[in-house]
Homo-oligomer: A and B are copies of this chain.
Amino acid sequence: MASSILSDCSSARLLPLRRSLLPPRAPRLRSCPALATPRRLLVAARPQLLPRPRHMDSVPAATASSADSATVSADAPAKLIDGKLVAKQVREEIAVQVTRMKDVIGIVPGLAVILVGSRKDSQTYVRNKKKACEAVGIKSYEVNLPEDSSEEEVIKHIASFNSDPSVHGILVQLPLPRHMNDENILNAVSIEKDVDGFHPLNIGRLAMQGRDPFFVPCTPKGCMELLHRHGVEIKGKRAVVIGRSNIVGTPAALLLQKANATVSIVHSQTKNPEQITRQADIVIAAVGVANLVRGDWIKPGATIIDVGINPVDDPESPRGYRLVGDVCYEEASKVAGAITPVPGGVGPMTIAMLLSNTLESARRIHGFK
């Protein structure tokens, strides 16, 4: 799974953001102690939301039990934003609401997942989603189609779920096989059941004042939930989103703006990302480059939400790799006011928000408050 090797933070290659334009003062930073392998390489250019391997429990940052009081080490003042803990709370709240809905109106929310092909990682994601549904009482429906299925076959199944009253959310597991057009398939999902929130109509409503999307995409919704539950003030604050993907960066920026932050979006063509990021009270990093955001990119006291989950080789790990974020945690946690760890930060929130969207959809469809 980990196809890339990375050295310490100070030598991490900064593409697609331009390293050549960084100020010359980077050397004052310590090497990122989380990484030891001396070679350098660019990791996946897109954030991967991986399932949380068991051995990750050994990462110190993920072991904190309280989001309010936890600190990472003696010289790391940042509060830990413990996504694992918050996600657990969210799932518990959802379970209570699902039970109440069933008791009061006899309806059980249902989530349908369509998987095409046999990618191991996709199978794992789907399995995890199914388990998470079961744990909160949401009924899950699954369709597995062979790799060589046609677009029409996939769309036929989507249409069937669109008209199935026991299904309140439909999710097509990405990536789809190459011969398929993602847009055609995702657009076939009824806007009322698009729990992933990827439909352009949802994104448009998210972007517009006075409109609300049917669903907010799960990962950026999870980022916002972490900010809200940790009492981070957003209104009037400067926010920087690093990355502009359709799945995370763009909707995260739109959400921050809807919450009245002043938002700047940093991307591969940005000439001075560190300078802009340093102005932010809130940073959401979702660019998929391991340890891109260094300590001196961060305004002291800022809140850092790290969406990136980048596998890097680690011979000492039982699996031969470990996961690191887009932010050099060791450096950032000494400057930031609060920070999410990787793993155990945004990752666990994504599935929790999927459950939340499915419950919300069932409530809306059945007019249940």
Contact = CB atoms under 8 A, between A and B. Distances in A.
A217 B246 CA distance: 21
Interface residues of A, number: 35
A250 B207 contact: yes
Of A208, A209, A261, A267, chain B has the most CB atoms within 10 Å of the CB of: A208
A64 interface: no
Contact of A204 (B207, B210, B245, B269): B207
Q: Chain A contact residues: over half helix, strand or loop, or mixed? A: mixed
Interface string A241-268: 0001110001000100100111111110
A220 to B, nearest CB: 13
A236 B257 CA distance: 22
Nearest to A264: B264
A252 to B, nearest CB: 12
A242 B51 CA distance: 41
A164 interface: no
Contacts of A238: 276
Contacts of A203: 203-204, 207-208
Nearest to A205: B200
Contacts of A210: 246
A183 interface: yes
3 interchain residue pairs of minimum CB distance: A204-B204, A200-B204, A203-B204
29 contacts: A183-B211, A200-B201, A200-B204, A200-B207, A201-B201, A202-B204, A203-B203, A203-B204, A203-B207, A203-B208, A204-B206, A207-B250, A207-B254, A208-B250, A210-B246, A211-B246, A235-B269, A236-B269, A236-B270, A238-B276, A257-B265, A257-B267, A260-B269, A262-B265, A262-B266, A262-B269, A262-B271, A262-B276, A263-B265
